[in-house]
A and B are shown apart, each in its own frame.
Chain A
Amino acid sequence: MAENKGIMVYGELIDGKISSIATELLGCGRRLADELKEDLLCILVGDKLGDAPKQAVAYGADKVYTAEDPLLKEYQTDSYVAVMEKAAKDLSPRIILFGQTSVGRDLAPRLAFRLGTSLSMDCMELSIDPGTKLLHQTRSVYGGNARATFTSETFPQMATVRQKAMSPLAPDESRKGEVTPIKVELDPAKIRTKVLETVKEEVVGVKLEDAQAIVAGGRGIGGPDGFKQLEELAKVLKGAVGASRPPCDNKWVPDTMQIGLTGKIVTPELYIAVGLSGASQHLAGCSSAKNIVAINKDPEANIYKEARFGVVGDWKQILPAFTEKVKELLAG
């Protein structure tokens, strides 16, 4: 059996292009590959991959493997796991990295159990132990209250990586890399799921993941109406509105606005938390914000442990004046 060598990155594609998380994985993968003095491989799975292989090389891959087939047009567990299983067995990588995305959360565990190996999900840090050459995987646990570092002695070592935790390389169009197709033999009868419909939420304005300013509301907003004031402030700041879980669970705002451990991970310059206690599961989603500002009537609220600036009191009385002054300062 071949020795396990090389770092393999699952190059997730969005609308036929290499995704941000894939570029981040390649940046991280490049660092690990250089440390181990092994190759960085990128695997692309889909239908009609276009420029994606070239982009993968530009972002750091030494070798790109492509699995192209009409049956792979949409992500489905059975077909994608079959392809990744073949790739893992044929190419024997030491490490396989996925993004912690809707696809990664589904594909990585299924593949890990298929291969009989261990996996760490939602990692924020990855490093190579110089002595053992094993991958050390650090991730958030206990709802964000703690971190845990794992390793394993089964190969390939697998990890999914939190979005925006790693940095991509600057793309270099002059980089050279090999592109090799992988032969795909899929039996449609073995694909046990069917995608009947995809329903996308319309995002008006800036997407949360891209926003440089976010105004987030928690349980303290009290209902859907309060969010209109947050929208007004977000507009002034040219940002987006988000929420912790309770407003989403209460149906005050759509689920797609949820920021947190099982929601969106955001990294804005400014994060204004209004009526939001700052439970660890929520902070897991926003603690990478450059500046957190908190407005809450409870001086003991956990959010103040993360915030740089804050006001204690009723947001209904604080926010209007705050928004007015911000408007004035930005106009002048």
Chain B
Amino acid sequence: MPLNMIVCCKQVLDPEAPPASFKIDPSTNKVIPPPGVPPVVSPFDEQAVEAALRIKDQQGGKITVLSLGNNLLRDVVKKPLSMGADELILLEDEAFEGGDSWSIANALATAIKKIGEYDLIFCGRQAADWDAGQVGTGIAEILGIPSVTVAKKVEATDGKAKVERVIADGYQVIEVTLPALITVSNELGEARYATLKGIMAASKKQPTVWKPADIGLESSQVGTAGRRAKLLKLFQPVKEGKCEILEADTPAEAGTKLAVKLREAKVI
């Protein structure tokens, strides 16, 4: 039974950029994009695309990807298409910038209402920039559909989805009625690579671009203007202390020295 699926994907600064390259501009409370490191699709969102693709592989269906932001790089936001998703819709406008979980979830949910038909919505469990972990659940609440969070496996049959949900010491198997929203975690497994065929197909596709007015929202309801949380300060905690490196002629001797040092320091 083919399913209509929507996946929300966010363009973020690459979380794999070396920690040393991470810098904040204190005057704007914003992260300075590290030079030479292009943005990426937030990793948990890629896994959300993978979850949808696995269902499409099994039973067919259509995957629409939805991305919100401003100055979105086509190379980045088209990646889900290269992986095998069918359509891309961008909520792209300056007004969408600087949102919190509230204004972002609201804009995405409003766009999804405009898209209309869906059986399953997938989101990453949290975005690699703000790590807030709320937008997926928020979209579900605004749409009035059930949600299951932190999924590592999703199957769908007969108007229901069977979801393996990660818990602290194992997992639960949850059955949920469709339509539903599912947030996906890394335990799902690696997202597939884009294929050459996929990249070529993606390059021919033009994303649909919507501005706030296209989805019936005022600028005052989206982005920074629509926030309910106020960011007071963005900062890097100061790291004190230095690491004492133990050296010796051979690695084995260094290992022995380390043990002795720990004993001396009463760590063991």
Interchain CA distance A291-B261 in the complex, whole Å: 12
- A-B contacts counted at CB < 8 A amount to 260
Are B174 and A194 in contact (CB-based, < 8 A)? yes
Q: Enumerate A108-143 residues with CB–CB distance to B below 8 Å.
A: 109-110, 112-114, 117-122, 136, 139-143
Task: Indicate whether A167 reaches chain B with its CB closer than 8 angstroms.
Answer: no
Interchain CA distance A140-B260 in the complex, whole Å: 35
> In the complex, which residues of chain A have a beta carbon less than 8 angstroms from the beta carbon of B133?
105, 109, 121-122
In the complex, what's the smallest C-beta–C-beta distance from B205 to chain A, in angstroms? 30
Task: Indicate whether B149 reaches chain A with its CB closer than 8 angstroms.
Answer: yes
Are A102 and B267 in contact (CB-based, < 8 A)? no
A259-275 Cβ-contact flags toward B at 8 Å (1 or 0): 00110100001100000
Count how many chain B residues have C-beta atoms less than 8 Å from C-beta atoms of the other chain.
87
> In the complex, which residues of chain A have a beta carbon less than 8 angstroms from the beta carbon of B142?
113
Q: Enumerate A299-329 residues with CB–CB distance to B below 8 Å.
A: 299, 302, 304-314, 317-326, 329
Are B131 and A310 in contact (CB-based, < 8 A)? no
In the complex, what's the smallest C-beta–C-beta distance from B101 to chain A, in angstroms? 7
Interchain CA distance A153-B235 in the complex, whole Å: 22
Contact-size category for A: 35 or more
- Leading 4 A-B pairs by shortest Cβ distance: A325-B259, A322-B255, A321-B255, A317-B251
* Chain B interfacial positions (CB closer than 8 Å to A): 13, 15-16, 18-20, 22, 24, 31, 100-102, 105, 125-126, 128-134, 137-138, 140-142, 146-150, 152, 162, 165-177, 180, 185-187, 189-190, 228-237, 239, 241, 243-247, 250-263, 265, 267-268
* Chain A interfacial positions (CB closer than 8 Å to B): 77-78, 101-102, 105-106, 109-110, 112-114, 117-122, 136, 139-143, 145-154, 192-201, 203, 213, 237, 245, 248-249, 255-256, 261-262, 264, 269-270, 279-281, 291, 293-295, 299, 302, 304-314, 317-326, 329-330
* 14 residue pairs bridging A and B, Cβ less than 8 Å apart: A105-B133, A113-B102, A113-B134, A121-B131, A122-B133, A143-B128, A147-B237, A150-B231, A256-B170, A291-B267, A293-B267, A306-B239, A308-B244, A311-B246
